[in-house]
Structure 1
Amino acid sequence: MDSEDERELAKDHWEDGLSGVEMRFHQRDQHDCRRSVVPIASHGLESKDDVPRTILSTIKSYRIMRFFETVEGFHTGSLDLTGRHQRRYDSIILRWNDFSSDLEELLRDAKSSLTPREIGVRDSKEVLETEMKPAAPQNWDQFLAKWLAHDSFSLHNFSAWRDRVIDCFTQNPTPRFQTLCLHDLPPELLHNIVEIAGIDLARKLGTTCRLLREISFSYMFKDHRFHLSCGIQWHHYHSLRSFDALATYLDPLITQARSKLLSDIDFVKSRPDILIALHNVYVDDEWQVHRTWTRTSVAGNDENRRSFCAPVYSGISNLIVCLPNLQSLTLQHWHITKELTQSLGCLERLRTLTLSSCTPTLRCPYTIAKLPSLLNFRLMYTKEQRGSWLFLGMCPNIKNLFILSPSCDRDEPGLIMPPPELMAAFTPFKTLQRFSMLQVPPGWIPRLNAWIQSARDGNESTVLRLTHFKLETSGGLHRQNLFTLLDVLNGSSIRFLVLDGLRYAAPDILDRIASALPQVEYLTLCYRESDIEYRTKETPWPFAAWEYAPHFANFTRLRRFSWNYKTNVDEYGPSALRFFEEGFPEEQQVGRRDADHLCEPESIAKRFSTFCPSLASIAFESPLGGIRKDVREDGQFPLVTNRLLHRSILQAHTRNTFQGSVWLLQIITCCTW
């Protein structure tokens, strides 16, 4: 039983994927339920016949509800994103008539009874629930087998759903077929839809008609990934013990991967239309990710690997020069040769450069070409790849800088920071607007402060352009370094500030932040009890929450405040005293009472908002999320609203924006279909 053709569903696509947009009713819920079987698979699940009964019943219940809601949707005019077409309606109405006939036979001889059932926890109540049993159990089993249903969906449920659909037919006897199709929309709206839909959906839309082909063409080749794939069967790989056996198995795979990548490069170069359409290119080496190079005989050491991959490195370098509209380039686990560096200098429209675990081979880093168009630079690197910093010199007009080191070695504090020569030759903070640096050793904080200060060129009246600033220290941000950092940021237009790893958290830190950064609107502070603490967790702060509250009066624009202050959200209120006096009667349970219970986060939110009227929410963060307490616009009374939060307000803000775009796509499509 489903909203689609049963002949297709007979295949029972157990591991179907899910597109970016939910096309049918309950599709995402059903997909998530199927994915929940994956952890069970590691404990002996061999086929869908071994799926636990509860999961199987839930999956089938989604299909049943989808069937009923689709039949209703044709008559109400509100259907899923697959459309209200005549052909689809003819198919589903035949199955509906057949289903109604079978169900009517069961209901004709079924016996109904009222069964009492208790509901509620504290104030238990007894209600009467209708229960229907078919006269012949074998007929019920045949019905479930025919319609691919599950006995968790009772006969009474089927009857209630059928009556609901019949009422819908009575109110809306004529089905409503769509008159406005997707290609009837204005071209600018179609461009927005195709762009949000992504590459895969753009290619599918392009195969439907000439109009959508023309619109989707520039999007279906907008992104491309050049991938030196590994293709290793890991269960077989781990069974091989000797070096010769590993080399015999891996050599054909790596040779085939190189040939495939070179063929992909040649194909793209032979298509001028694709070269013009390409905006975003992603290049990665999966062999380097898994560190399986050394197990091969053709590329077992660094010299052999460079020789073996020389055609690939050269091919990528020659290819990107032929991309006139390239705007974003991501290199992951790649060797950056001199030829590739020269090719990067020719990309006049490149706006974003991402280097993840790349190894430069240059020896003269400060003669690198400048790219005025390059505005965004992201760098993730390890100790052996510190040379990747030199590409920051390509960005004279940089706006966004993100730096992350996957690991931090306390014995080598220079792991995260750039070489002193580069810091002296180039100061990105003159043009920088968004800055994020993670896992900074505390010994390098003074150099970072000096690097920021150098942007003023001795003129203290120079205003930094920073609007977003995030700093995460691996060993703690102490008082002196913290106050020096706020001094060098003084007067900037920072609206988003995240300081993770504070070792000093007295109330006067709020005064210093409010004085140095009066325009701050989103503030996140994470305190760590010791220098060995790395991952942020809920931590007892050195002062009580009520001692921090008066210091929020200095903020005039603060909207969101987040901290990892440890609080107990499950405290018992004054109502617990009555249970002590009554001797804990069995019919009552000790618990929170909304009438007289005020948990600590609510009282903190109310107290903070009293001193800072602009404060809209306060979040208590932890590694797995947090609890947020919203206050009303008047800033006086808390609204109890619990939500999961991301550790960074900056990331949460970006994610909400993206989700809003997907939601807008669904609304637009529903209105047209």
Structure 2
Amino acid sequence: MSIFEDYNVLMNSPQLAGPDELAEVPSSQDNLNAEYRYPGGHAQFSSQIFLSIYEEEEAIEQPTWRRTPDETVENVIRPTIYHLLRLFDSIRGFHRGYLDLSGRHPQRYYTLQSQWNKYLCSFLGLETEIRPLEDLNTLGTDTYHVVFNPERWRRFLLKWRLPESISYTQLLRYTQKVLRDLRQHPVPQFQTLRLTDLPTEVLDNVITLSSIAQAKAFSLTCHTLNAIAQRHIFRTWRMNFYVPPHISPFNVEFIDVNLPLLAHHCRKDLERNVAFLRDTPHVNLQIQRLVLTDEWWVSRRAHPHENNPWILGIDFLRSVTQIFGSVFKSAPRLSTLVLCNLEMNLDLARKISEISTLHTLELHLCHVSRMARKKLISDASVACHQIANLHIYMDSTFSETHTQWYGLLLCPRIRTLSVVQFGVGAFPTPDATFWSRCRLDNLERLALENIDLGDLAELTKFFASSNMAGAQMTRFKLHMDWGIPDSEVLGLLLAIHNSVLEVVVVEGLAEGQFTFFELIAEQFPQLIALTVVRRQNSNQHLNKLAIWPHASWEYAPYFQGFKSLRHFCWNFRTEYWDATPTTLLAFESNFQVSSSTMSSFARFPLAQVEADSFTGEVPYFLDSHWMALPFVAHCSTLESFALMDSTIDMVCHITRPAPANKPILAPNYYPMHSAIPWNDQQWNTTSSHWPVLLPRSG
């Protein structure tokens, strides 16, 4: 191949005076992001996709180019170094095996090779002459300068669209770099397996992990990736009855704004968004999660005065709700519906029940109208039997959000339920007939976060009075920012005594006495995983290490009742100065690691402990995994023992080679997610709800 011609001439060129290195232009896509929004959304996306190397850097420089009045067609194509750098790096990518979206295919390589040969011939044809530089200030040093034909240099710059600021020294360095790679990797590496040869399921998972901008880049490469990427780009669609961002609910009475007229125009915009979605099948066929938000309702709540200028007419609000309800027919594959700050009237509830593909409903600070509540209590025809997952978020500051409890009547066959409450003050008491109409016979996973004590008492009474409610429950989680008495938690757990619980998570225990573990082991002996987090005092609201009322080994005997427990996690604090077996051995040996001491450490990777100890403590004191020994002795099925401090602070894997041998403890301090072999969603959930389940067939 001719790409190696005159290689020695270029590679053996002496050092030139004053090398003018090209400064790397920082890549900042934020400077380029033009405001682009899909109808109904306010999220900003980049309207420009960069598929070639140095294309983004080239676009950054375009705003700095000055247009002259006498600009000709020849000057439209601006001279830039990036054209040549793109050729250099593309050739290097083939020989070094770099992968890009264009692929490393022979046809593309032959085109690049032809361009490279033409450039090399032009570069070698400059007829340069290297002469020593005679300067008194540089005596004793080998310094040279380049002399060449100025006319040839000008034509060379024009041919390769290079700016006048580029120097021969810079081109020589870049050319030498390419030739050096060609010598080290003389054979180009062509791509035998294409990205589109992978299974569609694999590509779908890969694009799911990418951002929207990356998915848009994928969609512009070929028809196959376009079809896959569109499922990710349009999977979630947000539609807002929006308030312009410059209108604040706190100063609206002081500005000259006609709010009714503004609301009219916002409703017209919402209608256009619905029409766009209805008339765009390549978009609506990909929508699986639909988010509907009424921002005017948010502004009405935020206004502190009684004379609220954000209050709109009843007929106007009903028309907005009808517009939101009309969008359901435009999404034939809708599986998740999120309603934010909406008023759910009877008509909207009926339209939700008609969505046959829907399996998850999320209610964020919504209000169920009085007519809808009466209908749900008296008539079950409005119920959405196809919904298997219900997530409710309510705020005690706005009492109308407490009506979202009626979502249990709207979705009587849910398999997962999560209720998140926040705000200041107590919630109102629900209707007395509500719990008598409620059915949770299919409930399998329950998650409660900061639930009001009044609601907790009603929920406990409901489970205690119904033999079928919660009978299929396998996972239970209660998270409280403030400590809750052991008796309150035990009351709820004992009320669902008919359930087959496998996973129990209690975050926010106030006391942590022996009775708590004793009753759980007695009530649920087949429990697989148990996570208990105690609040040390009233000032502790996060999942941090806490001091428990008793020593750790005193809790171990109460684990004898568990017959299948595999995982236990709690936030027991162990101070570094506590006397543990390893520390006592270290004191006796004056902290000198002897052969006998090392043999005692052979059962677990000491090197791993040292690597994880980034805090600088002596590894002798990182032995809180020994806390697991009493629990292992009393619970023969235990496989992992963990300490929680915001996240998993230490996980100790327990193996038993033979029944007669001692168990082997393998601790991992400050583990990364990859160091935990089991999925943390299996024993606990980092979000406010358990993973969703699909509806039961039939």
TM-score calculated relative to the size of structure 1 = 0.65
Bigger helix fraction:
1
> What RMSD over aligned residues (CA atoms) do the two structures have, in Å?
5.2
Alignment of 1:309-324 (within 5 A): 309-321=317-329, 323-324=331-332
Alignment of 1:63-462 (within 5 A): 74-75=94-95, 77=97, 79=99, 83-84=103-104, 172-187=185-200, 189-190=202-203, 193=206, 204-213=217-226, 220-233=233-246, 243-245=253-255, 247=257, 254=263, 256-271=265-280, 274-289=283-298, 300-302=309-311, 304=312, 306-321=314-329, 323-363=331-371, 364=374, 365-366=376-377, 367=379, 369-382=382-395, 383-409=399-425, 412=426, 414=428, 419-428=431-440, 430-456=441-467
SS of aligned partner of 1:524: strand
Residue aligning to 2:528: 521
Distance 2:143 2:527 in 1: 71
Query: Is the Cα–Cα contact under 8 Å of residues 368 and 406 in structure 2 kept in the other structure?
Result: no
Q: 1:326 to 1:241 in 2, by over 3 A?
A: closer
Q: 1:78 to 1:497 in 2, by over 3 A?
A: farther
**Displacement of 1:233:** 4.0
Q: 1:603 to 1:181 in 2, by over 3 A?
A: same
**Displacement of 1:498:** 0.7
> Unaligned stretches of 5+ in structure 1?
1-5, 25-66, 102-108, 110-133, 137-145, 147-157, 580-589, 659-673
**Displacement of 1:317:** 1.5
**Displacement of 1:408:** 5.0
Match of 2:650 among 610, 622, 628: 628
Query: Is the Cα–Cα contact under 8 Å of residues 253 and 309 in structure 2 kept in the other structure?
Result: no
Distance 1:576 1:438 in 2: 48
Residue aligning to 2:568: 561
Residue aligning to 2:601: none
Matched letter for residue 602 of structure 1? H
1:619 equivalent to 2:642? Answer yes
SS of aligned partner of 1:243: helix
Question: Per-residue CA shift, 1:454-496, capped at 9, x if unaligned?
Answer: 3316xxxx98211110113465443433433333333533222
Distance 1:381 1:470 in 2: 18
Distance 1:244 1:616 in 2: 65
SS of aligned partner of 2:685: helix
Question: Per-residue CA shift, 1:102-146, capped at 9, x if unaligned?
Answer: xxxxxxx9xxxxxxxxxxxxxxxxxxxxxxxx999xxxxxxxxx9
* Percentage of matched positions with identical amino acids: 23
Distance 2:223 2:333 in 1: 25
Q: 1:288 to 1:7 in 2, by over 3 A?
A: farther
> Unaligned stretches of 5+ in structure 2?
1-21, 34-44, 52-86, 124-131, 133-141, 145-161, 163-172, 592-614, 657-662, 674-678, 693-698
Q: How many residues align?
A: 534
Query: Is the Cα–Cα contact under 8 Å of residues 299 and 308 in structure 1 kept in the other structure?
Result: no
Matched letter for residue 426 of structure 1? C
**Displacement of 1:377:** 0.6
Question: Per-residue CA shift, 1:479-527, capped at 9, x if unaligned?
Answer: 4334333333335332221112223422343232223223322211122
Residue aligning to 1:638: 666
**Displacement of 1:174:** 1.4
Question: Per-residue CA shift, 1:278-334, capped at 9, x if unaligned?
Answer: 3321111234445588599x98243x2544444322111122245443221100112
Distance 2:457 2:522 in 1: 21
After the TM superposition, which of the residue ranges 473-482 and 358-367 deviates more from structure 2?
473-482
SS of aligned partner of 2:422: coil
Greater Rg over alpha carbons, structure: 2
